[in-house]
């Protein structure tokens, strides 16, 4: 038996990534929006047991929207284990337990944690998030615009105007509000990372408002990167484009979530822990010469 075969048998590095995590079909267990981690089946992996930090973000201060669950939770855990203090924002009481769990993992990593509850579609609340972070830590080194809203609709006529407006308010307006509020408090060497999506390249016809916002995030990222560098701010702006990732957003907004992720070459959805390293890399000094870029984490779905 070869070394690689032995590694595969023991579950060590060398595992086939296409079969490392559960594949559909999953149990059909719909949730109410925004969904919670506790009701998911199968459970998502945020790196609770597996992520090992390497001091890439020592003593940095990070703000992460949607940090209670899903990708935001995995990024918060990874950042803390890389040495960062972390402020997470989340929407409402439904997500309290998930947010408290994220805070616990940050603190267990020996870092300071803050959680701030409220609606980021409000500019006033976005300003509060930044003001609280600056009051507590004096600055912001990393801003992760990750929280998002989506709903599945079969036709254009099924999309109510309020839903179109809410999707843009949560996914686009909040990003502008947070970047504007945070920029004066971000020293040279800081990093803004926005969560776009494979839908910016290959839009799902049932996610028209969501896909449109994700394409807008691509443009915003590239444009803001140029603005801040041309102004000599020394702040890098990049994006991560996840493919189908297994988070509470899926069983709460996708009717056929039992087949979620089958449309990737991996034939499965990604886990939040598989996306987090992309944010760590872009936030770290290892990405010092990267700005205006988008890093795809799509399970093999093409973004060209």
Domain boundaries along the sequence of the chain: 30-297
Q: Hey, which bits of 98-184 come out as E strands? A: 113-117, 142-145
Q: Are 182 and 89 in contact (CB under 8 A)?
A: no
Q: What is the pLDDT of residue 127?
A: 98
Q: Which residues are catalytic?
A: 210
Burial code of 199-215, b = ≥16 C-beta within 10 A, e = fewer? bbbebbebbbbbbbbbe
Residue where the block lists tokens 């930090």: 53
Q: How far apart are CA 156 and CA 127, in angstroms?
A: 34
Contact yes or no for 109/80 (Cβ under 8 A): yes
Within the chain, which residues score under 50 in pLDDT? Answer: 1-11
142-145 and 61-65 strand pairing: parallel
Q: What confidence score (pLDDT) does residue 304 get?
A: 82
pLDDT at 128: 98
pLDDT score at 11 = 44
Instruction: Give the whole-angstrom CA distance, residue 292 versus residue 103.
Output: 30
Contact 264, 17 (CB under 8 A): no
Q: Which CATH number fits domain 30-297: 3.40.47.10, 3.30.2270.10, 3.40.50.720, 3.90.470.10?
A: 3.40.50.720
What pLDDT does residue 14 have?
Answer: 65
């Amino acid at each position: 038996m070869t070394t690689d075969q032995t590694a595969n048998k023991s579950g060590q590095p060398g595992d086939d990534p296409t079969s490392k995590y559960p594949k559909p079909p999953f149990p059909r267990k719909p949730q109410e929006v925004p969904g919670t981690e506790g009701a998911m089946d199968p459970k998502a992996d945020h790196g609770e047991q597996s992520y090992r930090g390497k001091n890439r973000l020592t003593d940095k201060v990070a703000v992460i929207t949607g940090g209670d669950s899903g990708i935001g939770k995995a990024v918060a855990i990874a950042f803390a284990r890389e040495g960062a203090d972390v402020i997470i924002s989340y929407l409402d009481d439904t997500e309290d337990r998930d947010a408290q769990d994220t805070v616990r993992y940050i603190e267990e990593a020996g870092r300071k944690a803050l959680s701030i509850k409220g609606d980021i579609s409000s500019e006033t609340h976005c300003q509060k998030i930044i003001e609280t972070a600056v009051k507590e830590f004096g600055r912001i080194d990393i801003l992760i615009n990750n929280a998002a809203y989506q709903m599945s609709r079969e036709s254009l006529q099924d999309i109510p105007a309020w839903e179109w407006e809410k999707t843009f308010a949560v996914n686009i307006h909040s990003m502008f509000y947070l970047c504007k509020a945070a920029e004066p408090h971000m020293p040279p060497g800081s990093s803004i990372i926005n969560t776009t999506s494979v839908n910016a390249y290959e839009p799902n016809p049932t996610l028209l408002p969501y896909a449109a916002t994700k394409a807008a995030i691509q443009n915003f990222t590239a444009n803001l990167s140029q603005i801040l560098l041309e102004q000599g701010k020394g702040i890098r702006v990049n994006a991560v484009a996840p493919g189908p990732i297994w988070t509470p957003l899926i069983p709460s907004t996708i009717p056929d979530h039992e087949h979620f992720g089958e449309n990737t070459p991996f034939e499965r959805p990604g886990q939040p822990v598989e996306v987090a390293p992309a944010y760590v890399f872009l936030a770290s000094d290892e990405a010092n010469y990267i700005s205006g870029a988008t890093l795809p984490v799509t399970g093999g779905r093409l973004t060209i």
